[in-house]
Amino acid sequence: MDIYLIRHGVPVELDNEIVDEGHRYLTIAGRNHCKVVAHKLKELKSDFDIIISSPLVRAVQTAETFANVMKYTGEIKTAIELIGGNTYNRFLQLIRRNSHHKSIGIFGHVPDVNNFSLGLIKKSNIKDLKINFKNASVCKISYNTETEQGKFEWFLDSESMKLIKDSN
């Protein structure tokens, strides 16, 4: 199975009107940047059988933007395991429940997307790969659901739009 871990786009800051972290929505620039990254995924022939997002507004809006650009016609599902602060084991349960899919787009938050990536690719050193999940960055991992072993495929740095591949 291909797992795409994607950090949400750039959200508005907390202020007098938006005082709850869960209500932060994407800025216009954040939406536009998500479109650029999604187009790059399309160029890379990436697609999703299912999209699962954190239920927080900024993650759902990011998932919707990617879905629109990538012509995904399925339902965007939400999962509490992606809200933030959940354990890798809870995340792994989510993966197991969806193991019948060939390709999953997962939209979440830092540091979780970093931790989940590292958990899936235990044999790779994420720091050596220089992965830093800026807003709308994407990590592709090939994951064997039987052995529960992941292989790092590439990381798309959304800031530079460079594709980082494992040199091994």
pLDDT in tens, 107-119: 999 999 999 998 9
Sheet containing 50-53: which strands, arranged edge to edge?
A: 76-78, 50-53, 103-108, 2-7, 138-144, 149-157, 162-165
The predicted pLDDT at position 138 comes to 97
Instruction: Assign 23 a pLDDT band (cuts: 50, 70, 90).
Output: confident
Q: Which of 5-9, 59-63, 150-154 comes out lowest in average pLDDT?
A: 150-154
Up-side HSE of residue 46: CA atoms within 13 Å toward CB? Answer: 30
d(CA 129, CA 20) in angstroms, rounded, equals 34
pLDDT exceeds cutoff 80 at 124:
no
The predicted pLDDT at position 41 comes to 97
Which residues share a beta bridge with 139? 5, 155
Mean pLDDT of the chain: 91
For domain 2-165, give the CATH superfamily.
Answer: Phosphoglycerate mutase-like (3.40.50.1240)
Domain parsing of the chain, residue ranges: 2-165
pLDDT exceeds cutoff 80 at 168:
no
